[in-house]
Amino acid sequence: MDIVVANLTQVFGAASRPVVALDRVTHTFPSQRFTCILGPSGCGKSTLAQIVGGIEPFTSGSVTIGGKGSAAQPLGTHSVMVWQHLNLFPWRTVIDNVAFGLEMQGVPTAERHQRADALLTSVGLRGFEQHRPPQLSGGMRQRVALARALIMERPIMLMDEPFAALDAQTKIVMQEELVRIYERSKMTILFVTHAIDEAILLGDEVVVMTARPGRIKEVIPVNLPRPRSQEMINTPEFGRLYDRALHLIREEVLLSMRQQQEATAGST
């Protein structure tokens, strides 16, 4: 399903001191493609993902799922969100965490456990069904969160810096796991990240955003062949894409830092 965003604007705060988080953002996120949204802190990239998921309202503009001519449905109907802070229930077992969405839909216990069990096997967690999240490593908890999202079988997955809190080695493993899942399922994925190498390794395109107010600065097509692996990072093609993204993002990060300094000075 295409995600068509047109002139999307989001303004926070009172009318006397408004903060423009997103300013007339327009882009079509193609169906069954992996789009990474790259930008400095505070540029509105997480806000954009949450608006697409129906989690947050917006001030003006439009978001259409499915493209022109599609029947209008509430945002969030076709999507599922994966957060940086995984929001797993620590008192529930792994299998019951994964099956939670189905439980809320009234799916019988046997059926939802069967589906959850199959997904746990696919993400390498066979044998941990009765464990609880505090008993798992960070990477294992992230796999539980992925399985919980996948079990809903939505065509769109929205991911807000899901690997940011992981150590470097676990992050590599989870990136490769996500690539494998995407290449098998061909969902439409919007993946919010601060990391240039992650955006290029995962994405079919990288949407680079400006410092606040968030606008789309440039869209970088990533034509690296799939399947992808960490070995690609050392190739000339990857290096050229990295240099382009770094050039675009560096000045936006510096601008964002100046904005933060000015805001701090103005509040003292």
User: What is the side-by-side order of every strand in the sheet holding 79-83?
Assistant: 79-83, 156-160, 188-193, 34-38, 205-209, 216-221
Q: How many other C-beta atoms lie within 10 A of the C-beta of residue 30?
A: 15
User: What is the greatest pairwise CA distance in the chain?
Assistant: 59
* Cβ-Cβ contacts under 8 Å for 197 (sequence gap 6 or more): 233, 242
**Cα 86 from Cα 166, distance rounded (Å):** 12
Q: What is the pLDDT of residue 69?
A: 58
Residue that is written with structure tokens 């810096």 in the block: 161
The answer to whether the CB of 24 falls within 8 A of the CB of 38 is no
What Å distances lie between residue 260 and 43, 130, 194, 196, CA to CA? 12, 45, 17, 22
Cβ neighbors of 18 (< 8 A, separation 6 or more) are 11, 12
Neighbours of 64 (CB within 10 A): 18
Write down the pLDDT at residue 27. 96
Question: How much is the pLDDT for 268?
Answer: 61
- Looking at the chain, the number of H-run helices and the number of E-run strands are 8, 9
> How far from each other are the two terminal CA atoms of the chain, in whole angstroms?
47
pLDDT of 42 = 86
Given this model, what pLDDT does residue 267 score?
66
Cβ neighbors of 99 (< 8 A, separation 6 or more) are 107, 112, 113, 115, 116, 151
Which residues, given as ranges, of the chain have pLDDT below 70?
14, 67-72, 267-268
Place of tokens 């805001």: 263
Cα separation of 183 and 176, whole Å? Answer: 11
Residues 88, 132: Cα–Cα separation, whole Å? 9
Of the candidates 215, 203, 242, the residue with the CA atom closest to the CA atom of residue 39? 215
pTM value is 0.90
The whole-number pLDDT of residue 245 equals 95
Domains of the chain: residue spans and CATH: 1-78+156-251 (3.40.50.300), 90-153 (no CATH)
Q: Please, which residues have CB within 8 angstroms of residue 121's CB and are 6 or more apart in sequence?
A: none
| Rounded CA separation 108/105 (Å) | 9
**Residue carrying structure tokens 């997480």:** 46
- In this prediction, residue 109 carries a pLDDT of 93
Amino acid residing at 27:
H
Residue range 67-121, pLDDT digits in tens: 565 656 788 889 999 987 778 999 999 999 999 999 999 999 999 999 999 989 8
